[in-house]
Amino acid sequence: MKRVVAIVRPEKLEPLKDALFAANVSGMTISQVMGCGNQHGWSEYFRGTEVLLNMIPKLKFELVVADEAVDSLVDLICETASTGEVGDGKIFISPVEEVIRIRTRESGEQAI
């Protein structure tokens, strides 16, 4: 099993959520987060003073999926979340040792 974490633009919430459900993803966690990448934010002027806004609002999608589903899921996220501009986000993939469903105590892929 793998944990897939995708950090994307806030405006991609509905399109990405719909695409993941259409791909039969059984569940996901979505969080509002703030951060910066290579672009390190942008400058704006407030009352004549330049202010650096270096924390940009993003969304974090977290999913745990079977190993064989990772490649197609990454392709789907990239196709749906990409605008071609700086700041589209990143995807992180890491191994998951175990998953346990609290209600039934099912474990492994049955618990996903």
Residues paired with 49 in a beta bridge = 46
Residue 10 corresponds to which tokens in the numbers above?
């806030």
E strand or H helix at 74: helix 70-81
Angle at 89 between CA 87 and CA 74, to 5 degrees: 145
Query: What is the pLDDT at residue 39?
Result: 65
pLDDT tens by residue, the chain, 112 residues: 999 999 999 999 999 999 999 999 989 999 999 888 776 666 777 788 877 777 788 999 999 999 999 999 999 999 999 999 888 999 999 999 999 999 999 999 999 8
What whole-number distance in Å separates Cα of residue 56 and Cα of residue 36?
6
Give the number of other CB atoms < 10 A from CB of residue 57: 10
CATH 3.30.70.120 fits 2-111, yes or no: yes
Query: What is the pLDDT at residue 90?
Result: 96
